[in-house]
Amino acid sequence: MSHRGPAPDMATSVEAEDPRVTRTRHAVREAVRSLVQRAGFEGVSHQQVAAEAGVGRATVYRHWPTRTDLLLHALAEVEVPRHWQSSGDLATDLAKELQRLQRTLSSSPLVPELVALIGRAEWDAELRGTKAELLAAGTAGLRRALEAAIEREELPADHDLDTTIARLAGPLFYRRVLAHAPLEDAFVTKIITAYVNEVSASG
Amino acid sequence: MSHRGPAPDMATSVEAEDPRVTRTRHAVREAVRSLVQRAGFEGVSHQQVAAEAGVGRATVYRHWPTRTDLLLHALAEVEVPRHWQSSGDLATDLAKELQRLQRTLSSSPLVPELVALIGRAEWDAELRGTKAELLAAGTAGLRRALEAAIEREELPADHDLDTTIARLAGPLFYRRVLAHAPLEDAFVTKIITAYVNEVSASG
DNA sequence: TAGTCTACGAGACAGAGCGTCTCACAAAGT
DNA sequence: ACTTTGTGAGACGCTCTGTCTCGTAGACTA
């Protein structure tokens, strides 16, 4: 998922990274995240980042010439769930995944970052790619749950996953990002039961 | 819906506006919109706006001291549908309103502006209010349709409008803003029929 | 029509941020 | 011990910001 540089955290990396570079990269990443959360993308300047990270200004320019580079470096790493196990029941799987999404959207300090990313991605093609990656990672669980249901023939093979994901996750994003309303459990439950009923009715 | 100044376009205004001011306000509004569409919020500076509008820099500062003021001036005017008439059938009303929303999201040149607004509103309380107004205006038709259905007792009186609106409009926003996928008719149709089936089944 | 009022544009100004550059230093690798 | 290389400090020219003054032209008023 990382865009630049050699793979981190590997004991025997093919090409070891200079410890000084490692330190810089880490400090800058934390600084950018902190700044974005406090003041939005517009609060992120090379100058601010350098001060916040305790790093020379020239150093920041050397590694990340543009503002987009800085943002990508701070945001482009996401954990994709490695192992995923279906419970064998679509409703259960969906409930689990949507509740995970609900928790993330409700509490994660990165949400403001992501919203800012969405806004800026409208003009920045490079960020648009990152946005797509993050979205795919965030909804990967939902996708797996639906794919498992298709394999069990609980859903028809031609079921449109993207549409369904939009219908399940869309309302959550709407409430959190657009309406700024709290994401109650009842809301999530309603979405799931409505969808499951619809599936069982048609199938 | 307009925040500042007397009502425009009225032949016998209570307090007529100086034509020079009218000219300035109009030129600046167009300039801001053009700039936001081309370069995002970050492309909007007093300097740029002044140049684009063919207006003195001091004049821009006089009317709109902050960047937020500029953005509000350009975005804060929305037409709310004045007269709204129900067809007498919920499915028909919803189809009409969602298709209107679909058209707006698909084609309006203001969509990038709105996405940028969403992102910036995460930190700017003043813009957050405007965002709420725009959202309310954009979904007013949906709300009216649902209210009419409640009056006809097609929906229970305690039906949660906000939840329903999120479930209907959320997927559209998700597709357009997050997934950058086209909004096909089939997608919209599916959302409506699913919801209508759900209502008739429970009612 | 004459006179007053007021928004305007041009430009000066200090201050801050930006992006680039040089240079001495210290840490890393050999 | 020697070379390489990333670093931090600071100087630089440049642009943008926000405020100011001032002469002008257009808009109300009598």
The CATH number that applies at residue A102 is 1.10.357.10
pLDDT band with cut points at 50, 70 and 90 for residue A9: very low
**What average pLDDT score do residues B11-40 get?**
83
Residue A189 CB-half CA count within 13 A: 3
* Residues in chain B within 8 Å Cβ distance of A112: 122-123
With tokens 């009409």, the residue in question is B96
Query: Above 80 in pLDDT, residue A68?
Result: yes
Residue B57 shares a structural domain with residue B100: no
The answer to whether the Cβ–Cβ distance between B166 and A174 falls below 8 Å is yes
pLDDT of residue A79: 65
Query: Above 50 in pLDDT, residue A160?
Result: yes
pLDDT band with cut points at 50, 70 and 90 for residue A186: very high
The answer to whether the Cβ–Cβ distance between A123 and B181 falls below 8 Å is no
**What average pLDDT score do residues A68-81 get?**
81
In a domain, A36, yes or no: yes
pLDDT band with cut points at 50, 70 and 90 for residue B6: very low
C-alpha–C-alpha distance, residues B135 and B39, integer Å: 23
Q: The tokens of A77 are what? A: 């790493």
**What average pLDDT score do residues A24-53 get?**
92
**What average pLDDT score do residues B129-146 get?**
93
Residue type present at position B13: S
pLDDT of residue B203: 61
Tally of structural domains, chain B: 2
Q: Could you say which of A75, A103, A120 is where a domain stops?
A: A75
The answer to whether the Cβ–Cβ distance between A174 and B174 falls below 8 Å is yes
In whole angstroms, how far apart are CA A38 and each of A33, A56, A186? 9, 22, 31
DSSP-assigned letters across all residues of A19-65: HHHHHHHHHHHHHHHHHHHHH-GGG--HHHHHHHHT--HHHHHHH--
In a domain, B6, yes or no: no
Cα-to-chain-centroid distance, residue A182: 20
pLDDT of residue A174: 97
Residue A87 CB-half CA count within 13 A: 11
What's the CA B19/C1' C2 distance, rounded, in angstroms? Answer: 22
Residue type present at position A92: T
Query: Above 90 in pLDDT, residue B8?
Result: no
Percent of chain B exceeding pLDDT 70 equals 90
Task: Give yes or no for a contact between B154 and B90, defined as CB atoms under 8 angstroms apart.
Answer: yes
* DSSP one-letter code for A175: I
Instruction: Name which of A123, A130, A172, A173 to mutate to probe chain B: the one with the most chain B Cβ atoms within 10 A of its Cβ.
Output: A123
Query: Above 90 in pLDDT, residue A149?
Result: yes
pLDDT of residue A108: 85
pLDDT of residue B15: 60
Residue A63 shares a structural domain with residue A142: no
Shortest Cα–Cα distance, A67 to chain B (Å)? 12
The range of the structural domain enclosing residue B53 comes to 19-75
**What average pLDDT score do residues B183-192 get?**
95
Span of A97-111, A160-174, B11-25, B183-197 with lowest mean pLDDT = B11-25
What's the CA B26/C1' D17 distance, rounded, in angstroms? Answer: 24
Residue B97 shares a structural domain with residue B69: no
Mean residue pLDDT across chain B: 87
Q: The tokens of B96 are what? A: 């009409």
pLDDT band with cut points at 50, 70 and 90 for residue B122: confident
C-alpha–C-alpha distance, residues A203 and B53, integer Å: 59
Residue A48 shares a structural domain with residue A95: no
pLDDT of residue B200: 87
Query: Above 90 in pLDDT, residue B201?
Result: no
In a domain, B153, yes or no: yes
pLDDT of residue B88: 94
Residue A109 shares a structural domain with residue A181: yes
pLDDT of residue A75: 83
C-alpha–C-alpha distance, residues A174 and A187, integer Å: 12
More confident: A39 or A26: A26
Residue B167 CB-half CA count within 13 A: 25
End-to-end alpha carbon distance in chain B: 37
pLDDT of residue A66: 93
pLDDT of residue A137: 92
Cβ neighbours around A196 below 10 Å, total: 17
Mean residue pLDDT across chain A: 88
C-alpha–C-alpha distance, residues B140 and B13, integer Å: 28
C-alpha–C-alpha distance, residues A153 and A156, integer Å: 6
Residue B39 shares a structural domain with residue B139: no
* Residues in chain B within 8 Å Cβ distance of A198: 194, 197-198
pLDDT band with cut points at 50, 70 and 90 for residue A41: confident
More confident: B201 or B93: B93
Three-state DSSP class for residue A78: coil
Task: Give yes or no for a contact between A168 and B163, defined as CB atoms under 8 angstroms apart.
Answer: no
* Residues in chain B within 8 Å Cβ distance of A188: none
**What average pLDDT score do residues B19-34 get?**
94
